[in-house]
Structure 1
């Protein structure tokens, strides 16, 4: 199905050309061939001493690494991953995502305006949320129709640079590219080494969520290539799911989408599903919602994408669920 430049991709005609997945109990996966960095061309053997995570280890990646990312690029790209983590740190906290050193990232200072803490007590997960110095009514309410108690806690104040977070996604996509596709993306690979204020047109990111509050230990990434020759349909899409979060972008090609940099305003709108199949258990489908679109074409420091975490609990059954409230200023304007 071809898509007009201003439309959202509802059911694009794409084929998956590369995919990688990691989870508990699965073997480690090493991408690429050691000896030449696909990001800068480095071939010095001593430049490949460290482990390069294809997906950020802060998002729980223990399984997928890249052999063809040199130490210098790996160190430089660390600032990208850091920005991505800061953009939505509250999700990592409530999900219990184990990052570096198997530690869960905590959101906010204990003595700050709001904080979210994740702990393990007697082998069980415990999430505590607190606010300081603001009215109780700002954070508590009741849903009249359901009787659910609703608690709203700010998602932190740690700021991030959107352009760097966008580069984190581009870097992941490039790491997954098959060797025969690399010549089609030389310009965006070079762009990864540019300054923060060297922005591309239409740096749009689709974000969606599955279950929030207990992040599944599953990460996946995929490249989808169009199967038609219609230049109004982006040549390549990148989709990654890391625990509760699904992120997707159009990966800008050298010429397959017209002039460089591509000015296509089509937005990826893939509804993704992962299958988690623990040994001896029934497979579990992790279904992510249709994405909301963020504008990450900015180089200044901005507050996190997650404005608040909302917890709704039924007082009689004790059943509850969490949801994320996205900051309005982070959302991309509707296509004109």
Structure 2
């Protein structure tokens, strides 16, 4: 399991002695930052289905990380159009439904802009965002609203509904991101992982090692995200999983175990692995939540909700049922 937050220096030393970073990318300013296209083999073969032209084509732009979290600059040349559409209409839809509430709160600009949440029909509630400003319509039915305000409306407890999703497909999306960015010499170890990703079976037993999630109070810039791949050093002194994906966007940070049966043999014992949380730079003093991320479920989730308490610096209320709030942060 992931232990409680430890001293940042100790956690940093743990990861430095056990892991290397074969891939790293940070999008800081998508308007001015150059695109990075991860090159494929010549002749081109798809990394995921292992087919090449003319059996498949490579005409579409393949985002190495979903566009929904704000990716505008990181692409791959080795994902064929067929697999691109397979992921986009499949597991990435589940990821989109699961991540939508936090993408709204973090101001993530996807293909269709920042997500909006609403419910209760034409006279119901609505939560949207423009830049750093939230716009909320309370709706006529007070019992139906997914938020509870303090008396002065400066603090809101938000219980935001998620559209239906299957947890293991959300996890597969994280794994797909990692497989998309890893160098060829690392990808060679992940054949079983690729087969699990592409297979129809949603086997939660394939995932044996812990992953973690952090929620922080202050969102990263709306146009930024960071992705890093960790793999175990050959001389790692501790018993640790082979690989992790680190992903940061909005108000969330993730440390997701990437299963690698070919390299996780040291983990095949009935003794839990305890890991210090990854010491995300700048997040320790702003931490709202840290804990294990369990996405091993194979059943369709309906009625699931994400809860966050938000504190707003300024609030503007328009009667009778519409309220607007601006300049907030997670609490």
* TM-score (ref. length: structure 1): 0.76
2:231 is aligned with 1:225? yes
Give the deviation of 1:91 after TM superposition.
1.8
Question: Residue 311 of structure 1 aligns with which residue?
Answer: 310
From the superposition, tell whether residues 241 and 129 of structure 1 become closer, same or farther in structure 2 (CA, over 3 Å).
farther
From the superposition, tell whether residues 305 and 235 of structure 1 become closer, same or farther in structure 2 (CA, over 3 Å).
farther
Q: Which moved more, 1:257-266 or 1:54-63?
A: 257-266
From the superposition, tell whether residues 138 and 247 of structure 1 become closer, same or farther in structure 2 (CA, over 3 Å).
closer
Q: Distance in 1 between matches of 2:144 and 2:166?
A: 30
Question: Residue 299 of structure 2 aligns with which residue?
Answer: 300
Q: Which moved more, 1:208-217 or 1:26-35?
A: 208-217
2:278 aligns with one of 267, 270, 274: 270
Alignment of 1:102-141 (within 5 A): 103-109=113-119, 111=121, 114-119=125-130, 125-128=133-136, 130=138, 132-134=141-143, 139-141=148-150
Give the deviation of 1:191 after TM superposition.
0.5
Contact kept? 1:54, 1:66, Cα under 8 Å: yes
From the superposition, tell whether residues 305 and 157 of structure 1 become closer, same or farther in structure 2 (CA, over 3 Å).
closer
Question: Residue 279 of structure 1 aligns with which residue?
Answer: none
Q: Distance in 2 between matches of 1:183 and 1:83?
A: 27
Deviations 1:129-161 (A, max 9, x none): 53634189971336xxxx994222321241211
Q: Tell me, which stretches of 5 or more residues in structure 2 are unaligned?
A: 316-324
2:225 is aligned with 1:209? no
Q: How many residues align?
A: 299
From the superposition, tell whether residues 260 and 95 of structure 1 become closer, same or farther in structure 2 (CA, over 3 Å).
closer
Question: Residue 327 of structure 1 aligns with which residue?
Answer: none
Q: Distance in 2 between matches of 1:189 and 1:303?
A: 28
Give the deviation of 1:181 after TM superposition.
1.2
2:95 is aligned with 1:84? yes
Q: Tell me, which stretches of 5 or more residues in structure 1 are unaligned?
A: 1-5, 274-284, 325-336
Q: Distance in 2 between matches of 1:51 and 1:305?
A: 32
Q: Secondary structure at the match of 1:58?
A: helix
Q: Secondary structure at the match of 1:108?
A: strand
1:39 aligns with one of 37, 48, 56: 48
1:55 aligns with one of 59, 65, 69: 65
Question: Residue 179 of structure 2 aligns with which residue?
Answer: 174
Question: Residue 254 of structure 2 aligns with which residue?
Answer: 247
Give the deviation of 1:260 after TM superposition.
9.4
Deviations 1:293-315 (A, max 9, x none): 12111111225775223222468
Question: Residue 21 of structure 1 aligns with which residue?
Answer: 26
Deviations 1:193-234 (A, max 9, x none): 122532224374322134456753112211112223457211
From the superposition, tell whether residues 18 and 304 of structure 1 become closer, same or farther in structure 2 (CA, over 3 Å).
farther
Q: Which has the higher contact order (CA 8 A, sep 6+)?
A: 2
Contact kept? 2:171, 2:295, Cα under 8 Å: yes
Q: Distance in 1 between matches of 2:309 and 2:200?
A: 36
Contact kept? 1:173, 1:223, Cα under 8 Å: yes
Q: Distance in 2 between matches of 1:32 and 1:216?
A: 27
Q: Distance in 1 between matches of 2:278 and 2:301?
A: 26
Q: Distance in 2 between matches of 1:72 and 1:151?
A: 44
Q: Distance in 2 between matches of 1:181 and 1:214?
A: 29
Q: Which moved more, 1:177-186 or 1:192-201?
A: 192-201
Q: Distance in 2 between matches of 1:15 and 1:259?
A: 18
